[in-house]
Structure 1
Amino acid sequence: MEASIYIRLRHRIRHQMNAPVKLKEIAEVIAPESLLPDLLYMDIHQIKQEDGQIIIIDAMTVVEKLNQQWPGADVQFIGPAQTIIDTAPLSKNMSLPLFLFVWCLLFTGAALTIMNFHEDVSMRDVHVKLYEIVTGEKTDQPLVFQIPYSIGLGIGMVLFFNHLFKKRFNEEPSPLEVEMFNYQQDLDQYVVLHERKESRTDHERHS
C-alpha cells in the first residue's frame, strides 16, 4: 500500500460495556478516501465483563488489526501511544439531601480552617492595632476594618476559583481545575504503566 495512514489516538474515552470499540471512537484518522470508511468503522476491541473497568488499547494493537486486513500498510502514529477506555457507567444525579450534607460539611470545614488560621496569626489583634494607628483611638471591635476584610475575603476566594455557582468569569481554568487535571494525568499515567507491567508479567509467566 503506497498511501500512508495517519492515526492519532485519543487520550481517554468512555465506552459502554459489552460493545465493540471502533477505530473512529479511539482515534482521529487521515487516510485515502477509498479506505477511510472501512478504517473508521473497523473493530479494534470487543469489551467484555472480564476486561474490568479500565482497558488500555495500545498502538501496537491497532497496527496488528490493520495489518490483518491491509498487510504492509504504512501506518504512522501521531501523539499518544495508547488510549484509556473507561467502562464505568455515568454517575446518576446526586440527591438533594446528599448534596446539602456535603455542602454543609465542606462549608463548616472551610470556615473552621479560616477561623483557626486567623486565630493563629492573631488577626483580631492586628485589626485592633491598625485601628488605633489610623484613628488614634483604641477599641476591641474595629468593625470598620473587620467588615470590609470579611467581605473582601469572600470576594477574593470567588475570584481565585474563577466561579460563582455555574458562572465563569473568564476562560482561564481555576486552580482547582488545574489540580484535578494534573491528578487525572498522573492517574492515567499510573494506569498505563501498571497495565504494561501486568502484561509483561503475564507474558513472562506464559513463556
Structure 2
Amino acid sequence: MGEQVYIRLRHKIKIPKEKKLLLKDIAFITANDHWRKLLENTFIYQVKKDDKNIVVLDIYSVIQLLGNQHPNLEFQSIGPNQTIAYIDVSPKKPRLFIVGFIWLLLFIGSGMAIMNFHYDVSMQEVQQHLHYLLTGKSNPYPLWLQIPYSIGLGLGMILFFNHVFKKRINEEPSPLEVEIHKYQQELDNYVILHENEMSKNDDHD
C-alpha cells in the first residue's frame, strides 16, 4: 500500500481565459510536504477557446491522471466530486441609458405594486378609522399617521434587504441573498448533471 494522499476539490473557482489549471488551483491536498509541493504543480487541464464560460472537472479524472503519474501513491477523495470552473469574462461597461431605463421601470413597477396592495387591503380606510378611534374625530387625510407610516415602510424595506446602496447593515444575509444562493446551488447542480450526461454520451460514442 502506497502513501496516502487526500484530495478535496474546491466546489467552484473563477479562472481567466485559456489558463493552465494546476492541481492547487482546483483542490486542497493533504500529504507530507514533499509530495504536497510536488502534486500541487501537477498540470490538470488547459482551458480552451471552445470551452465557452464553464468547465467541470471530475474527481475520477483527476485521480486517474495522478495515479498514472504516481503509481506508488494512494489517492483518497473527500468533499465534492466535481469542481465547476467559471471562465472569467470581462464585464461590459453598463450603458447609462439602459441602467436608467431599468431603474425607472423597477421604480414604477414597485410603486404600483405597493399602491395596489394598499388599495386591496383598504389601508386609507383603516388609517381613517384608527384616527377616529384615537381622536374621536373624522379626518379623510390623517397625515400624522400616513407620513410616519410611509417613512416606516421605506425603512422597513431597507432593514429587510439589509443594504443601504452597497453598504451592508449587519452580517446577516438578506432574504434576497439567500434566494440567490439557492438559485446558484441549483444552477451548479444542473451544470454538474448536464456535464455528467454529456460525458456518458461521449463514452457511448
TM bucket, shorter chain: over 0.9
Distance 1:100 1:30 in 2: 51
- Report percent identity of matched pairs: 47
C-alpha contact 2:3 2:72 (8 A) present in aligned 1: no
- Structure 1 residue 129 and structure 2 residue 129: aligned? yes
TM-score by length of 2: 0.94
- Post-superposition Cα deviations, 1:36-72, rounded to whole Å, max 9, x if no partner, equal 2221111111111223321110000110111121014
Q: Match of 1:152, as an amino acid? A: G
Give the RMSD, CA atoms, in angstroms: 1.5
2:84 corresponding residue in structure 1: 84
1:185 corresponding residue in structure 2: 185
Q: 1:26: Cα distance to partner?
A: 0.8
Gaps of 5+ in 1: none
Q: Match of 1:173, as an amino acid? A: P
- Structure 1 residue 143 and structure 2 residue 143: aligned? yes
Q: Which moved more, 1:101-110 or 1:160-169?
A: 101-110
C-alpha contact 2:14 2:85 (8 A) present in aligned 1: yes
Q: Match of 1:125, as an amino acid? A: E
2:2 corresponding residue in structure 1: 2
Q: Match of 1:107, as an amino acid? A: F
Gaps of 5+ in 2: none
1:41 corresponding residue in structure 2: 41
- Post-superposition Cα deviations, 1:101-124, rounded to whole Å, max 9, x if no partner, equal 322222221111111111111111
Q: Secondary structure at the match of 2:33?
A: coil
Aligned length: 205
2:170 corresponding residue in structure 1: 170
Q: Which moved more, 1:96-105 or 1:178-187?
A: 96-105
TM-score by length of 1: 0.93
C-alpha contact 2:67 2:75 (8 A) present in aligned 1: no
Q: Which moved more, 1:156-165 or 1:7-16?
A: 7-16
Distance 2:36 2:106 in 1: 51
Q: Match of 1:68, as an amino acid? A: N
Q: Match of 2:18, as an amino acid? A: N
Runs of 4+ in 1 over 6 A off after TM superposition: none
Q: Secondary structure at the match of 1:94?
A: coil
Matches within 5 A, 1:17-36: 17-36=17-36
Distance 1:183 1:72 in 2: 42
